[in-house]
Structure 1
C-alpha cells in the first residue's frame, strides 16, 4: 500500500511539475505576443521614442536659457538707451 501511495504521489508531483512548465511556457508566449502588439500599436500611433524626447527636452532647455540671456541683454540695452 505504501509503495502504491508513493507512486501515486510521485506521479502527481510529476504531473504538477509538467503543468507548471507548460504554464511558464504559455506565460512567456503571451508576454511576447502582448509586447509585439503593444510595439506595433505605439509605432502606428507615431509615439516619440524616449531618446528623441530627451533630445528635444534638452534642446528646449537650451533655447530657454538663450531666450533668458537675450531678454537680459534687451533690458540692459533699453536701460542704457533710456537713461
Structure 2
C-alpha cells in the first residue's frame, strides 16, 4: 500500500480550517444581525413578547382581584343597607353625580 501524499493531508487541514472559519463567521453574522434587530426594536419602542405576556398576566390577576374586591364591597354594602336609619335613603352604589355648571351667558 502506498501512503497518501502529504499534499492531500495539508489540503484536508486547510479545508477543515476554512470550514471552521466559515462556521465562526456564520455565528458572528448571526450575532451581528440579532444585535441590529434588537437595536431597531428598541428604536421603534416595540414591546417584546415576554414582556407583553408578563404584563398581560399581571393585568389578568389585577382584574380578578378587582372583581373579587367589588363583590366584597357589594356584599358589605348589602349588609349595611338594613342598618340605615329610617327616613334616610342610602346612596345608590357607585353614583358619581356630575356637578351642575352655571349657564353660560353671552356678554357680546
Same fold, TM exceeding 0.5?
A: yes
Which is richer in helix?
1
> TM-score range, shorter-chain basis?
0.5 to 0.7
Mapped to 2, the partners of 1:29 and 1:16 lie a distance apart of: 20
The number of aligned residues is 78
Mapped to 2, the partners of 1:21 and 1:58 lie a distance apart of: 44
The ranges of structure 1 where at least 4 consecutive aligned residues each deviate by more than 6 angstroms after the TM superposition are: none
User: Computing the radius of gyration over CA atoms, which structure comes out larger, 1 or 2?
Assistant: 2
Mapped to 1, the partners of 2:13 and 2:65 lie a distance apart of: 69
Mapped to 1, the partners of 2:65 and 2:14 lie a distance apart of: 69
Q: Give the drift of 1:51.
A: 5.3
- Structure 2: give runs of 5+ residues left out of the alignment: 83-108
**TM-score by structure 2 length?**
0.53
2:98 corresponds in structure 1 to: none
SS of the aligned residue for 1:40 comes to helix
- Structure 1: give runs of 5+ residues left out of the alignment: none
**TM-score by structure 1 length?**
0.64
Over aligned residues, Cα RMSD in angstroms? 2.9
Mapped to 2, the partners of 1:57 and 1:9 lie a distance apart of: 61
Q: Give the drift of 1:42.
A: 1.0
Q: Give the drift of 1:28.
A: 2.3
